[in-house]
Amino acid sequence: MTEDLFVLPASFGQQRLWLLEQIQPDLPLYNEAVGLRLHGPLEPAALAAAMTGVLSRHEVLRTVLELEGAEVVQVVRAAGPTELPVFDVAGGHDAAMAEARALAGIPFDLGRGPLIRCRLMRVAPEEHLFAIVVHHAVADGWSLGVMLRELTALYSAAVRGESLDVLPELEVQYADFAAWQRQRWEEGELAGQLEHWREELAGAVPLRFPVDHTPAGASGTGTVHAPLKLPAAMIRQLRAVAPDRDVTPFMVVLAAYAAVLSRWTRQQDVVVGLPFAGRSQAELEPLIGFFVNTLPVRLDLSGDPGFLDLLSQVRRRCVGAYGHAEVPFELLVETLKPARRAGRTPLAQTMLAVNNTWLPGSVEAAGLRIEPVPLLQERAHFEVTVDLDGADDALSGSVVLQSDLFGQETADLLARSIVSVLRTASANPGAPVSALSCPLADQRAAATDIEEPAGAAAPVVDREPSDGRPSTPTEVMLSRLWSEVLELDTVGVDDEFYAAGGNSLRAVRVVMRARELGVELPVERVLGEHTIRELATSV
Query: Is residue 8 predicted with pLDDT exceeding 70?
Result: yes
> Please, are residues 415 and 228 in contact by the beta-carbon 8 Å criterion?
yes
Could you tell me which of 356, 326, 222 has the C-alpha nearest to residue 13? 326
Indicate if the pLDDT at residue 317 is higher than 80. yes
Alpha-helical (H) ranges within 307-432 are: 307-322, 329-336, 408-427
C-alpha distances in Å from residue 75, one per residue of 17, 140, 175, 336, 406: 15, 19, 10, 30, 40
Specify burial of residue 21 (Cβ count, 10 A radius: 0-12, 13-18, 19+). buried
- pLDDT band for 450, please (50, 70, 90 cuts): very low
| 8 A C-beta contact, residue 209 and residue 264 | yes
Instruction: Say what the pLDDT of residue 356 is.
Output: 54
Residue 314 has pLDDT above 80, yes or no: yes
User: Could you give the CA distance from residue 428 to residue 405 in angstroms, rounded to a whole number?
Assistant: 34
| C-alpha–C-alpha distance, residues 342 and 173, integer Å | 35
Residue 220, pLDDT score: 55
Sign of CA dihedral 361, 365, 367, 373: negative
Strands 368-374 and 363-365: antiparallel
Q: What is the pLDDT of residue 378?
A: 57
Contact 175, 71 (CB under 8 A): no
- Average pLDDT of the chain is 88
Alpha carbon 383 to chain centroid, angstroms: 12
pTM of the model: 0.86
Residue 462 has pLDDT above 80, yes or no: no
Candidates 511, 537, 478; CA nearest to 23 is: 511
Report the DSSP beta bridge partners of residue 388: 354, 397
Mean pLDDT of 457-469: 49
Per residue in 259-284, pLDDT (tens digit) is: 999 999 999 999 999 999 899 889 99
Q: Is the pLDDT of residue 14 over 90?
A: yes
CB 14 within 8 A of CB 178: yes
Helix (H, G, I), strand (E, B) or coil at 524: helix
Gap between the Cα atoms of 150 and 157, Å rounded: 11
The rounded distance, in Å, linking the Cα atoms of 528 and 218 is 14
The rounded distance, in Å, linking the Cα atoms of 5 and 1 is 12
Q: What is the DSSP letter of 458?
A: P
Residue 73: Cβ within 10 Å count: 22
In this predicted model, what pLDDT tens digit does every residue of 46-82 receive, in sequence order?
999 999 999 999 999 999 999 888 789 999 999 999 9
d(CA 509, CA 18): 12
pLDDT of residue 460: 37
Q: Residue 278: which of 296, 268, 292, 264 has the closest Cα?
A: 292
Torsion of the alpha carbons at 174, 151, 359 and 223, rounded to the nearest 10: -70
* CB-CB contact of 421 with 437 (8 Å): yes
Question: Are the C-beta atoms of 223 and 401 separated by less than 8 Å?
Answer: yes
State how far the alpha carbon of 306 is from the alpha carbons of 244, 299, 310, in Å: 15, 13, 6
What is the mean predicted confidence (pLDDT) over 100-113? 93
For residue 454, the model assigns a pLDDT of 38
Mean pLDDT of 316-323: 96
What percent of the chain has a predicted confidence (pLDDT) above 90? 63
What pLDDT does 448 receive?
37
User: pLDDT grade, residue 122 (50/70/90)?
Assistant: very high
pLDDT-derived band of residue 458, with 50, 70 and 90 as boundaries? very low
**369-424, pLDDT tens digit by residue?**
999 998 866 567 899 999 998 777 889 989 999 998 999 999 999 999 999 999 99
* Beta strands 4-9; 31-39: pairing state: unpaired
- Which residue, among 332, 317, 299, has the nearest Cα to 191 in the 3D structure? 332
> In 10 A of CB 456, how many CB atoms?
13
pLDDT tens-place string over residues 470-510: 888 788 888 888 888 888 888 888 888 887 877 777 887 88
Q: Give mean pLDDT, residues 525-533.
A: 78
Local structure of 426: helix, strand or coil: helix
For the chain, counts of helices (H) and of strands (E): 16, 15
Confidence of residue 149 (pLDDT cuts 50, 70, 90): very high
Mean pLDDT of 228-253: 92
Task: Give which of 373, 290, 374, 363 is closest to 50, Cα–Cα.
Answer: 363
d(CA 261, CA 99): 38
